[in-house]
Structure 1
Amino acid sequence: MKKLTKHLIVAAVLVAGFAAALGSYLLLSPGTERGDGGSDVRPAAGAVPVRESSHRLTDPADSELTLVEFLDFECEACGAYFPVVEKLRAEYGDRVTFVARYFPMPGHRNGELAARTVESAARQGRFEEMYAKLFTTQKEWGEARDSKEDVFRGYAGELGLDMGRFDADLTDPETAGRVQEDQRDGLGLGVQGTPTFFLDGRKIPNPASYEQFKALIEERLAD
């Protein structure tokens, strides 16, 4: 409980400072090249918050609501929201579809690599495990100047993944392309920073606490 409270306090502080910090984290304009070695990432013409191929953390048979998060595994604010989303998921997972979409920011040295790491794990049916692993260990590798590929490979080993397949998937252009598909949708929807949440297709201001997030969900479920 103390750990969760600490994360909620951090989330509130990060949300309060988010607008002020956003200028240094804006994504590149449409048609410009990424600064981290990736190819051009342009807005999707028919951008949508969620696709059939999107990664679902919950998938209730009778979903009443869909919450989509565009996230960066190296983003501190995303890390602070992680336990909030986990608690919401535990409470509403049988009624709400929770979706995670990649949106690595160009200012993070390992953000895009982290997304490919999770996608490579997803190819072995372990998306959720690697998603949680990177957020719960973020302080150990985040904001580094050097590549953390060896660290991420270590996590893959801990999860029992087939390492030959993991290494091949990590460098497979289709894996990077899958990450970029999410980015293109995000750009087309006006996402400029992380985390950005969409509730039933509408972008919402980031709630400053678990209680505010819960109240928003309760309000929508009651409609």
Structure 2
Amino acid sequence: MYALYYQPFACSYAVHIALEKTGQPFELHKVNLRNGEQQSEAFLALNPQGQVPVLQYADETLTQAGAILLRLSERHPEAALMPEPSSPLRSTALQMLFYISSTLHPAFSMLFYPERIAASARDEVKSKALEKIQLQLSHLERRLGQHTYCAGEQVFAPDYLLLAILNWCRLFQISLSSFPNIKRFLADMNERAEVKKALATELQEMAA
């Protein structure tokens, strides 16, 4: 059975959704990031970086959302988490997965942790982060105007990660009123069965 170490609505949300899509049994272990549980000795033994998600299965321990999503797609090809290797969509899906992980996510990280960049200039860091996010939202708006999802007309793992990260716009009060294609994407994704299951669980955990 899989074991997912997660924080509700962190980027681990994408892995949670993917696990629901596979239909495989899994258990959840909530990590309270606000209380610093990710820096505990027990958690650092799982991931020395002190970050979620962490996925365990048998003798395998994986970190990094993108890597975990790819591994799940390999273990469960029937879930179609990624296009098949022979598909022309494969490279597009990989490109989007890495773009979300290495470009979009770090821009939001600047909002979450401005002190890691410049403790004495938090406001300036946040302002720069918002500029970067607006630039990436414009890029995504254009892309989602050409394709329904990240890699075309079918949902794949990058869409789960994009959903998880775009949800943070609400947290930071970033308006999406100028991005109708992004709003359509979010509404569409939130109607999917696997998303509804993960959403209900994480909302319940937040309220606990």
Provide TM-score, normalisation by structure 1: 0.26
**Structure with more of its chain in helix, by fraction:** 2
Provide TM-score, normalisation by structure 2: 0.27
Structure ranking higher on relative contact order (CA contacts 8 Å, 6+ apart):
1
